[in-house]
A and B are shown apart, each in its own frame.
Chain A
Amino acid sequence: MASTQSYQLSDYLEKLPGTTFRKLYQQPSTAFAIFRRELPPLAKYFVQALLYMPDALLLSQLDIWVREDGKMARDRALSILRSLHIVQITPPSKDKPQEVQLTTNFKNSMRLALEGGGTHNSWGVPSNLPVDSSIDIPYLDRYARRKWEDILHYVVSSVALHGDGGGGGGSNTGPKTSVKDLLLAGRLVEPSRGIKSGITITQAGFAFLLQEANAQVWTLLLLWLEAADHTAGSLMDSIDMLCFLFMLASMELGRAYDTDSLTEPRRNMLPSLVDFGLIYIPSRDTRQYFPTRLATTLTSSFSSLRPLFSDPNSAPGGETGSLGLGLGSSLAPPIATASASSISGSKGSIIIETNYRMYAYTSSPLQIAVLALFTQLNMRFANMVTGRLTRDSIRRAIGYGITADQIISYLAAHAHEQMRATAASTGRPVLPPTVVDQIRLWQLENERMSSTGGFLFKDFDSTDEYQALCGYAEEVGVLDWKNDRKQHFFVSKIEQLRDYLKSRKKVE
């Protein structure tokens, strides 16, 4: 969806200036986190090779490490490394060949991260105080899940699908006002009168719901960083906030950390992080804080996020099965591999039959509300809901801005174990191919005409005039359609052409 703003860490980082990166890389945990999460394998390889080189390396030498057919991957890796200010490359000149080396701060921090040492406290200071034994990993998981579900619920309940407000149904009070404000600021929901909850969900909000948990967390955190940037006189510095997030990401789950060793601004961030469910602070003793799984998996690569909060007993082999959706869906970007309610602790629960019937073994109001976005639900029992994927229900979802790929990957990620087992034993894709195809066809059907706003140029005095202006439009890249016979053409933007016409008029 080009229309909705994307909230991804890489996009956010790309917009930062070089000075910010120099500050960020003063922290070993930050340098290491960015290395871990943002770099493709080849870029990681370059960094590792360059890390202990005493001097700059000739750029031509770098080519020796890359196979003939890997030029594109090399260029991509280098451009990522440059945009993240991890390497610097000397500008091309006649008398000196180009050289490449790691930027000083990144190199030093990365070495510190690998070798240890330094007094940067970049990995957090564990608390020496006795730890309450009831705060264990399952406890933290439950806590984080509840916090996060509260937020998702708030977004879902803004869908006015049913009289009861989208099956909100829970007894929870919803997230804190600060979180609600963030969701509003990020346009995931919009204020609206006449609805009980006072808000309605936006296209971006639907996309948010179907994302996998880690992407959701980052979306919210980036909104938080942006809000801090935009608030005048804000006490929080978004660079320091980002560093702190990376620090949390490097911490150990289930361990208590020392609150007092944090700087004042960072201590001020703790309440917000508690609201998001990223950390837990016992109410009796605020000198300790515990990072939850939401925090410690922040910088993990996508594949390791699959089992986030999932049942430890579920067969790990089954997870890979969901990747083989078949039918070209492997080409689809992995937008929503594991998704919204993988966090709700449920194993796969959805069964799809070839006749488009859907059975979901769930009692989670959240998952039911998400399913209601794109299925026509018929019945609800104590532990399951039944429904059907129909042309109308899919078209309605597409009208909301949900894509067919998002729906398909949601269904695949949440497929019932029985579906996976059958698929594995027969060597077929997990979802019935007919259903997957049909969902895509329903989407295509909706896109019968594409429209572009812009300007149509006509009534030219001469062929030369037409060709000159049309040629210019093509050159500046605004030409969309032309018809040489009729001497008409259509452009998406007019400003440059207007200037061009004006300047020509002057000449005449």
Chain B
Amino acid sequence: MPRAIRGVMIECEPAIKSIIIHLDSVNHDFIIEDCDETHLFVKENMMPLLKAKLEEHLKETYRPEEPLADSE
């Protein structure tokens, strides 16, 4: 008998996926199943936290080139 598990399927680039896996490695509380290079199956109730963490992580790695502060 097959099993059906409730959750959220995430589709993303491999780069983003590796970040999520990295985030998961701390507590292993996000990912249910690593599906393929671009798909991850995660817990539904952890989605908001995961989104926030990812956002935070991207902020660290990506520094936008903001133009110089206004001189006015």
Contacts and interface: CB of A to CB of B under 8 A. Distances in A.
Does B associate with A? yes
Interface of A: 355-357, 378-379, 386, 388, 390-391, 448-461, 465-466, 469, 480-481, 483, 486, 488, 490, 494, 497-498, 501
Interface string B17-40: 000100000000000110110010
Contact of A494 (B4, B16, B33, B39): B4
Contacts, number: 89
In the A-B complex, the 8 residue pairs with the smallest Cβ-Cβ separation, listed nearest first, are A449-B12, A455-B4, A459-B3, A456-B5, A460-B2, A391-B64, A452-B9, A490-B9
Contacts of B67: 355-356, 388
Contact of A457 (B4, B16, B44, B58): B4
B72 A448 contact: no
Interface residues of B, number: 30
**Interface residues of A, dominant DSSP:** strand
A459 B2 contact: yes
A481 B39 contact: yes
Given A378-B72, A459-B2, A494-B4, A481 B12 contact: no
A187 B45 CA distance: 25
A393 to B, nearest CB: 11
Nearest to B17: A449
Considering residues B6, B7, B9, B41, which has the most beta carbons from chain A within 10 angstroms of its beta carbon?
Answer: B9
A410 to B, nearest CB: 22
6 contacts: A378-B70, A449-B12, A451-B9, A451-B47, A456-B9, A459-B2
A456 B33 contact: yes
Contacts of A454: 6-9
Given A455-B6, A457-B3, A488-B35, A449 B72 contact: no
B1 interface: yes
Given A378-B72, A386-B72, A456-B33, A450 B2 contact: no
Given A449-B16, A483-B35, A488-B35, A456 B4 contact: yes
Contacts of B58: 448
Contacts of A390: 66
A455 B36 contact: no
B70 A480 contact: no
Contacts of A378: 70, 72
A301 to B, nearest CB: 40
B6 to A, nearest CB: 6
Considering residues A386, A454, A466, which has the most beta carbons from chain B within 10 angstroms of its beta carbon?
Answer: A454
B50 to A, nearest CB: 9
Nearest to A494: B4
B13 interface: yes
A481 B16 CA distance: 19
Given A386-B70, A456-B5, A488-B35, 4 more contacts: A356-B67, A449-B54, A451-B11, A469-B2
Interface string B42-67: 00100100000010001000001011
Nearest to A490: B9
B66 A391 contact: yes
A347 B9 CA distance: 47
Nearest to A486: B35
A481 B8 contact: no
A454 B12 CA distance: 17
A465 B72 CA distance: 70
Contacts of A481: 9, 11, 35, 39
A71 B22 CA distance: 53
A455 B2 contact: no
A448 B4 contact: no
A307 B58 CA distance: 44
